[in-house]
Amino acid sequence: MQAKTAGVFPALPNFVPRSRVKWPKRLARAFAWTRPKERKCIGVQERIAIDQWKVLRGSVLESGGVLRLAPDQEGSVRLRIEGETAAMAGVRWSADKWLIVDMLADMDSVVSVQFPFYRKGEVIPSGESRHMLSYRLLPMRRIKVAVRLEELASKRYYLDMLLGGMLEGHANGRPASVEQMDAMEMAVSSPYGDRFSSLTIYDVYLTDDLPDMTVEGGPMVDEFGQWMGKDWDTKIHSEAQLAGYLKAEREAARESAGYPAGWSRWGGWLEKRFDATGFFHTHHDGKRWWLVDPDGYAFFSNGMCYGSRMGVHGFTDRRETLFSWLPDPEDPTYRDAWTTADQIPEFAKRNGPGVGRDRKMFNFARANMIRVFGRDGWWDAWQAINTARLKSWGFNTIGVGVNNYEDEDVLKYLEKARIPFVWTLKKFPRTDVRIFRDFPDVYSETFRSQAQEFAETQLRGLVGNPYLIGYFVNNEPEWKVPYINLAERVFAHPDRLGSKAALVDWLREKYRDIGALNARWGQSFGSFEDLYQPAGRLDAGAPGAKEDFAAMHALLMEKYITVLKDALTGVDPDHLNLGMRYAGAGPREMAGCEHYDVFSFNHYAPSAAQALETAGAHKDVPMVIGEWHIGGEKSLLAHGLWFSRSQEERGRACEFYMQGAMANKNCVGIHYFEMNDQPLLGRFDGENMAHGAIDVCNRPYAELTAHFRHAAERMYPLCAGEEAPTQITGETLQRR
Domains in the chain (CATH in brackets) are: 25-207 (2.60.120.430), 241-400+581-735 (3.20.20.80), 434-571 (no CATH)
Round to whole Å and give the CA distance between 677 and 668.
Answer: 26
Mean pLDDT by 10 residues, the chain (736 residues): 37 32 34 35 74 94 89 97 96 97 96 96 84 96 96 91 89 94 97 93 95 92 96 94 98 94 98 98 98 98 95 92 96 96 86 87 98 96 97 96 75 93 93 95 98 96 96 90 88 97 98 97 97 95 93 95 97 97 86 93 94 96 97 86 91 96 98 97 93 97 96 98 82 68
| Burial class of residue 652 in the structure, from the number of CB atoms within 10 Å of its CB (0-12 exposed, 13-18 middle, 19+ buried) | buried
Q: Please tell me the predicted confidence (pLDDT) of residue 317.
A: 84
Q: Please tell me the predicted confidence (pLDDT) of residue 729.
A: 61
Round to whole Å and give the CA distance between 541 and 556.
Answer: 22
Q: What is the value of pTM for the model shown?
A: 0.89
Q: Please tell me the predicted confidence (pLDDT) of residue 36.
A: 37
Round to whole Å and give the CA distance between 515 and 557.
Answer: 28
Closest by alpha carbon to 223, among 301, 314, 327?
327
Q: Please tell me the predicted confidence (pLDDT) of residue 730.
A: 54
Question: Helix, strand, or coil here: 151?
Answer: helix
First to last CA, the chain: 33
Q: Are 402 and 426 in contact (CB under 8 A)?
A: no
Closest by alpha carbon to 35, among 15, 21, 16?
21
Q: Please tell me the predicted confidence (pLDDT) of residue 736.
A: 65
Q: Please tell me the predicted confidence (pLDDT) of residue 45.
A: 87
